[in-house]
Each structure stands twice: as structure tokens, then as C-alpha cells.
């Protein structure tokens, strides 16, 4: 029996790449891997909207999201208090993920109404990836501050 598509990719990324990315880039550097991959993906979709390229790039993007991004998300919460973890995680898992899903559905609905081609959707997604990168920069700065504060508390 053959495993579902992408399972082997996710397994290999988790097994071989995640630890190396954490080792060489750190948690904050690993935050930038998926947005940069998405930025390249959508730029490639604009230049070459070929189904086989889109399929391959989206498979890599989804595998990275599942393996690396989930691990980064859990690692980001390490310097926070236990109380903050248990309050923030349900909010992130329910409200923010569902908000993203709703926004995605809205983009697709509007795009279909306006008869968007693939490159139009890719342009819209490039705007979202740019916003994502700005948010990642803010998260990385906040994580650095939290990590520094928790290091100071542990020394004291």
C-alpha cells in the first residue's frame, strides 16, 4: 500500500531538515523559511503558471508547513509562561486559523467573481506573503526579547 502524497516528503523534512534548520538558522531564522518559500512559489506562478510546477512547489510548501512550521510554532512558545501558553494556543488554533481559512475563502470567492487567472491569484498571494513577512519580523523581534528576558531570569 502506497502512503498518501506528501507523507514521505513531510517525514523526510522532519527527519533531516528541521533539526539542521534549527541548528543553523535558529528558531527565529526558521520562521522565515516558509514565507520565503511561498514568496518564491508565487513569483514562479506569475512567471510560469504551469500545472506541474505549481503542483511540485505547493507540495514542497505544504510539506514545509506541516513539518517545519508546526515545530517552529511550538518552539516559539518555549520562553513564555505556562499560563500564556494555555491561553494563547486555543486562541491561535481556533480564532486565527479559522480567520485565515475565512479570508482564503473570501479571496477565492472574489477572485472567481472577477474572473481571476492564476497569475492574478498569485499576485494577491504575494501581497499576503509580504504582510506575512512583516508579521514574522515582528514575531522574531518579540521572541528575541522574550528569550533574552527568560535567560536573564534563569541566570538570576
Q: Please give the tally of structural domains in the chain.
A: 1
In a domain, 106, yes or no: no
In a domain, 129, yes or no: yes
In a domain, 111, yes or no: no
Q: Enter the pTM of the model.
A: 0.79
- Please check whether residue 140 is in contact with residue 31, taking contact to mean a CB–CB distance below 8 angstroms: yes
- Please check whether residue 27 is in contact with residue 143, taking contact to mean a CB–CB distance below 8 angstroms: yes
In a domain, 99, yes or no: no
What are the pLDDT digits (tens) for 23-77? 899 989 999 999 999 999 999 888 888 888 888 888 888 888 888 888 888 888 8
In a domain, 138, yes or no: yes
In a domain, 87, yes or no: no
Q: Which domain holds residue 50?
A: 7-75+117-155
In a domain, 80, yes or no: no
Cell numbers placing 4 = 498518501
Q: Which of these, 146, 30, 32, 139, lies nearest to 78 by C-alpha position?
A: 146
Amino acid at each position: 500500500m502506497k502512503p498518501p502524497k506528501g507523507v514521505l516528503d513531510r517525514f523526510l523534512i522532519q527527519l533531516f531538515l528541521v533539526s539542521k534548520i534549527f541548528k543553523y538558522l535558529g528558531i527565529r531564522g526558521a520562521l522565515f523559511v516558509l514565507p520565503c518559500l511561498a514568496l518564491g512559489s508565487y513569483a514562479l506562478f506569475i512567471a510560469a503558471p504551469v500545472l506541474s510546477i505549481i503542483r511540485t512547489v505547493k507540495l514542497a510548501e505544504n510539506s514545509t508547513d506541516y513539518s517545519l512550521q508546526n515545530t517552529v510554532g511550538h518552539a516559539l512558545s518555549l520562553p513564555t509562561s505556562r499560563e500564556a501558553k494555555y491561553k494563547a494556543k486555543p486562541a491561535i488554533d481556533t480564532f486565527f486559523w479559522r480567520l485565515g481559512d475565512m479570508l482564503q475563502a473570501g479571496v477565492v470567492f472574489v477572485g472567481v467573481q472577477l474572473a481571476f487567472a492564476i497569475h492574478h491569484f498569485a499576485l494577491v498571494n504575494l501581497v499576503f506573503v509580504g504582510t506575512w513577512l512583516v508579521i514574522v519580523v515582528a514575531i522574531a523581534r518579540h521572541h528575541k526579547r522574550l528569550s533574552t528576558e527568560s535567560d536573564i531570569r534563569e541566570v538570576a
